[in-house]
């Protein structure tokens, strides 16, 4: 695969669709490409911009649909199994409130919040310069906006591998060389940023890792890729490793936070969510799972109130 140009076959693989669907997009004039010596080629930069634009458009439409449901909020950004259980618990306790979620990755979640395309952004972005999570990115992606950043939980994240660790993976230094098939998270996700920071520390070229360019959008997809034998390793939360019976090599504990606009912070749905998160029953359930911390849940980390 070229670093700058895709063939129809390569762009189909990149988008996760059938090659015939690529030709249908070409015919409809919906994908950026050009003919060179009779063959279609697609600049990767333009394809990435096209994907981002379509994601923004999809979020905008999703927000408009969520407005049709009274008491509904649209959330985008990162994901975590605990978050899924949290939202389920809220629906059980507060059936009048709805959260519609889009797994866009932390960076795009904050960008969407800044653009007014979402109500809530879930985020766990590490700033390599300060070693802090999320707060340095609020002024960057939401300049001048009245924003509140609320801490949700801490979680352990690491390299996950098949049960028994048949490849003998001990850390990032074992990933390059081609002997291990890796599954990556999408660009802009907090997990991808963490990986790139760890590789930079060790001066490991990303392209030396087989599968670095193979992207999925959730931690669960990482786990399923390993369970199915499609990959040997990836980065995911401890919850995924334990729920799926995967080997886990700890890397760090990170802050998983929620960014909202000032007016949204006082929305009854947000306050109901925080009520569930603070409840002893919910916390005990996941503290038993291990790898999660709720000691600072609900704490405001950044505010322009």
CATH superfamily, domain at 158-253: Periplasmic binding protein-like II (3.40.190.10)
CATH code for the domain defined by 1-57: 1.10.10
Q: What number of CA atoms fall less than 13 Å from residue 32's CA on the CB side? A: 13
Q: What is the pLDDT of residue 2?
A: 44
Q: What confidence score (pLDDT) does residue 68 get? A: 41
Cα 215 to chain centroid, rounded: 11
Q: In Å, what is the CA distance from 124 to each residue of 20, 33, 109, 131, 189?
A: 37, 34, 11, 12, 8
In the chain, CATH 1.10.10 sits at: 1-57
Per-residue confidence (pLDDT) for residue 24, from 0 to 100: 74
Domain with CATH 3.40.190.10 in the chain: 158-253
Tell me the CA distances in angstroms from 2 to 40, 41, 205, one per residue in order: 14, 11, 17
Encode the chain (305 residues) as per-residue pLDDT tens digits: 445 778 888 877 777 677 777 777 777 677 777 776 677 887 777 777 666 665 555 555 545 554 444 567 888 899 888 888 888 888 888 887 778 888 888 999 999 898 888 899 999 999 999 999 999 999 999 998 899 999 999 999 999 999 999 999 999 999 998 899 999 999 889 999 999 999 999 999 999 999 999 898 899 999 999 999 999 999 999 989 998 999 999 999 999 999 999 888 988 889 888 988 888 888 887 777 778 988 899 999 988 76
Q: CA–CA separation, 41 vs 182, rounded Å? A: 27
Order the strands of the 34-36 sheet from edge to edge: 5-6, 39-43, 34-36
Q: What is the chain written as a DSSP string?
A: --SSEE-HHHHHHHHTS-HHHHHHHHHTT-S--EEETTEEEEEHHHHHHHHHHHHHHHHHHHHHHHHTSTTEEEEEE---HHHHHHHHHHHHH-TT-EEEEEE--HHHHHHHHHHTS-SEEEE--B-TTT--BSTTHHHHHSTT--EEEEEEEEEEEEEEESTT-TT---SGGGSTTSSS-EEEEPTTSHHHHHHHHHHHHHT--GGGSTTTT-EESSHHHHHHHHHTTS-SEEEEEHHHHHHHT-EEEEEEEEEEEEEEEHHHHTSHHHHHHHHHHH-HHHHHHHHHHSSEE-TTTT-EEEE--
């Amino acid at each position: 695969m070229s670093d700058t140009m895709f063939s129809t076959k390569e762009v189909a693989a990149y988008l996760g669709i059938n090659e015939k669907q690529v030709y249908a997009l070409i015919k409809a004039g919906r994908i950026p490409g050009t003919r060179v010596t009779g063959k279609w080629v697609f600049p990767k930069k333009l394809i990435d911009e096209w994907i981002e634009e379509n994601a923004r458009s999809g979020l905008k439409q999703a927000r408009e649909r969520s407005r049709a449901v009274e008491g509904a909020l649209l959330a985008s950004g990162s994901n975590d199994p605990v978050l899924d259980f949290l939202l389920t618990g809220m629906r059980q306790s507060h059936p009048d409130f709805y959260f519609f979620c889009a797994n866009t990755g932390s960076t795009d979640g904050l960008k969407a919040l800044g653009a007014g395309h979402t109500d809530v952004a879930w985020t766990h972005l590490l700033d390599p310069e300060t070693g802090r999570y999320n707060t340095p990115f609020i002024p960057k992606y939401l300049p001048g906006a009245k924003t509140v950043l609320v801490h949700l939980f801490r979680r352990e994240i690491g390299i996950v591998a098949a049960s028994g660790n048949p490849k003998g993976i001990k850390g990032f230094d074992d990933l390059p060389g081609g002997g291990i098939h890796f599954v990556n998270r999408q660009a802009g996700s907090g997990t991808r940023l963490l990986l790139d920071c760890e590789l930079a520390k060790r001066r490991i070229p990303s392209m030396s890792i087989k599968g670095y360019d193979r992207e999925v959008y959730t931690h669960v997809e990482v786990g399923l890729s390993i369970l199915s034998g499609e990959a040997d390793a990836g980065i995911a939360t401890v919850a995924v490793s334990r729920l799926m019976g995967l080997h886990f090599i700890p890397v760090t504990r990170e802050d998983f936070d929620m960014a909202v606009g000032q007016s949204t912070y006082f929305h009854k749905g947000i306050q109901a969510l925080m009520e569930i998160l603070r409840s002893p029953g919910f916390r005990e359930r996941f503290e038993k799972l291990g790898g999660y911390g709720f000691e600072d849940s609900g704490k405001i980390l950044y505010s322009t109130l």
